[in-house]
Structure 1
Amino acid sequence: MGDVLTVNATGADEVETVWQQFVPSARLEHVDPRRVRFRWSSIETGAFSLVQYSLRADVRSSIHLDDQIMACQLIALDARVMTEGQPIDARQPWLTGDSPIQARWSGTANVRAFIFDRTSAEQVARAVSGEDRLVLRSIDPVPRDRALAVQWERSFGYVASALAVGHDQPLVAAELERHALMSTLTAFSTTYLEALDTSAQRAAAPRTVRRALAYIDAHAHEPITIDDIAEAAGISTRGLQHAFRRALDTTPSQQLRTVRLAAAHRDLQHGGDHVSDVARRWGFSSPSRFARFYRDMYGRNPAQTARMF
């Protein structure tokens, strides 16, 4: 379950305390106590945090993360962001890397960020790419192009809204965490993208697909990801996707969704639960998307099934 924190403060000490809780390696170098106004909202799911805050103050901050990776967007009229003495376009999101990033502003700034545990993020990146020795790091702090920057911004909005209602559902939270990481790793130039270009995928026998199917059936009620399925099958995530296409003309994600839809269908037949509760239980954060998938599979709305039993 996700931990939700909301803070409204006017004291510089409280600003520092909350900041250090989520980004221990970062520091606020100057906060004018006479002008500070602070509103903080965050959801933490263990290895991942989604942060949104508004801070009115004269601020100089420095961020150099060791055990975390942060993708951040700073929105302020006079924001300045720099790394290694070079300016970064403050209108775009940016990604922490090997060098410190400095940010400063006067007035009010609205900040939103994904913060990932580095070890957990590397495990996912290695599983997806098939490169077991991948060391995850940023090559360029800015998005690869404007379209990908916009895509990241939209992904943040989606994850923020879905996690706000689904953070207490482990299946939903796990999928949203993975979505946040993959949207970040594809929007920015990272060693993950290099690994995708160079790593060779192992050939998959039907036995691999059978192992994956068995794992999905046994663990669909748990917050498993495609990377977990690939690991259980003994193959990289990309290799598993190719294997499913060849053997079943589907994807692991679609198969997992099919199994969860079938389980939701059984729950609806048993009666007693609201459709939205059943949807969240089986990892569907959006009731409308759940209804669409359900109609495609069963030819009627889930509410109709619920009323039949």
Structure 2
Amino acid sequence: MTSPVQTRGFESRDPAVIHDFLASTYDTDLRIHGGDESYRLVHRRVDAGPFALAAAGQTAHLDIGVNGIDALVVCRSHTARLERATDASVHRCGPGDVFLTSRPGLPFDVHWQPGEVELCVLDLAVLAQVATAAPDRRPGQIRFTDLAPATAALARQWFTTTRYISDVVLTNPIASAQPLVIGNAARMLAAAALTIFPNTAVTDPTIEDRRNAGTATLRRAISFMDEHADRDITAADIANAAAVSLRAVQLAFRRHLDTTPMAYLRQIRLDRAHHDLVRANPHQDTVSAIASRWGFASHSRFTARYHASYGVPPRETLNA
């Protein structure tokens, strides 16, 4: 299987080449002022379809004006000091600080001092998948009401989340080739962003949600998950299949099974991985390949979860 993950490196001292590269890579119009005729930009970006992680470092004092990016862009300063202006507000940050560059689609300006920054570019459709409530009360495009994290602890959570995806998911060629793994990683980033940055996503269940959270909803949801566990389905897909809102299906699983739809789906996939391990040829198949096939990117986490469910490590099942 061809991996959907593509890594691209770039390095230049030519201002015109740098301008064209950034405009093309981030699909936007921009203006760059400052520096000299030989400042240097180094950029490494890992594209994974619904999201991308990038690290960029440069050697000048730059003023960059961006007309807007149709994605959620989360920035973490690694060594640089920056000043970002948007919506008539100015935000200054230094090493370790996390912030949104702007609300999606809106222009912003950045004064970027020499140093390195880390960027996450997240497809807005993934945010909608994670935050979707009921069709008749969706808030439209989610609006972030603050471009800074709600707390310092949440900013650290963003760092932890991106490091896990970068170090565990994207560096594993077997796992990163699996659509289930990439879809899970994208939704992990979206859930983290919606938790960390204040926003207008609807979260409270309605009276109708509570009324729809019955056993019939549960049966429809489970039937859909059983049939489509090998596909990159979302909680919103499960709710649509059950013909109720996302909040209703979440309430149904919590009320009747004391779990969440996605946790139940992970258990189905764990059971499918167990079935594959039992039938596998230990001379041809590996635990990592089977785990990745069912959406488990971390070998250690899969092993721990498998051992908790089946009482033996997965390798023992494979070799039996």
TM value normalised by structure 1:
0.89
In the alignment, is residue 190 of structure 1 matched against residue 199 of structure 2?
yes
Structure 2 counterpart of 1:90: 93
Task: List aligned pairs for 1:161-200, cutoff 5 A.
Answer: 161=167, 162-165=169-172, 166-192=175-201, 195-197=202-204
C-alpha change, 1:145 and 1:61, in structure 2 (3 Å) is same
Letter in 1 for 2:203: L
Q: 1:291 aligns with which of 299, 303, 306?
A: 303
Structure 1 counterpart of 2:222: 213
In the alignment, is residue 301 of structure 1 matched against residue 313 of structure 2?
yes
Structure 1 counterpart of 2:19: 16
Supply the distance in 2 between the matched residues of 1:135 and 1:198 (Cα, whole angstroms).
19
Q: 1:3 aligns with which of 1, 6, 25?
A: 6
Q: Which has the higher strand share?
A: 1
Letter in 2 for 1:295: H
Supply the distance in 2 between the matched residues of 1:29 and 1:100 (Cα, whole angstroms).
14
8 Å contact kept, 2:8–2:45: yes
C-alpha change, 1:236 and 1:65, in structure 2 (3 Å) is farther
C-alpha change, 1:90 and 1:243, in structure 2 (3 Å) is same
Q: 2:144 aligns with which of 138, 144, 152?
A: 138
Supply the distance in 1 between the matched residues of 2:294 and 2:25 (Cα, whole angstroms).
30
Supply the distance in 1 between the matched residues of 2:243 and 2:81 (Cα, whole angstroms).
51
C-alpha change, 1:281 and 1:87, in structure 2 (3 Å) is same
Supply the distance in 2 between the matched residues of 1:114 and 1:151 (Cα, whole angstroms).
14
Supply the distance in 2 between the matched residues of 1:87 and 1:67 (Cα, whole angstroms).
21
Structure 1 counterpart of 2:286: 274
Q: Residue 43 of structure 1: SS of its match in structure 2?
A: strand
In the alignment, is residue 147 of structure 1 matched against residue 153 of structure 2?
yes
Q: Residue 312 of structure 2: SS of its match in structure 1?
A: coil
Alpha-carbon RMSD: 2.4
8 Å contact kept, 1:51–1:114: yes
C-alpha change, 1:173 and 1:77, in structure 2 (3 Å) is closer
Structure 2: unaligned runs, 5 residues or longer: none
Supply the distance in 2 between the matched residues of 1:146 and 1:128 (Cα, whole angstroms).
32
C-alpha change, 1:148 and 1:233, in structure 2 (3 Å) is same
* Percent identical residues: 30
How far the C-alpha of 1:122 sits from its partner, in A, is 2.9
Supply the distance in 2 between the matched residues of 1:201 and 1:46 (Cα, whole angstroms).
35
Supply the distance in 2 between the matched residues of 1:50 and 1:131 (Cα, whole angstroms).
32
8 Å contact kept, 2:84–2:111: yes
Supply the distance in 2 between the matched residues of 1:210 and 1:123 (Cα, whole angstroms).
22
Q: 1:249 aligns with which of 258, 261, 283?
A: 258
Supply the distance in 1 between the matched residues of 2:16 and 2:255 (Cα, whole angstroms).
58
In the alignment, is residue 38 of structure 1 matched against residue 41 of structure 2?
yes
C-alpha change, 1:10 and 1:199, in structure 2 (3 Å) is farther
Supply the distance in 2 between the matched residues of 1:80 and 1:201 (Cα, whole angstroms).
46
Letter in 2 for 1:300: V
TM value normalised by structure 2:
0.86
Supply the distance in 2 between the matched residues of 1:61 and 1:248 (Cα, whole angstroms).
52
8 Å contact kept, 1:129–1:238: no
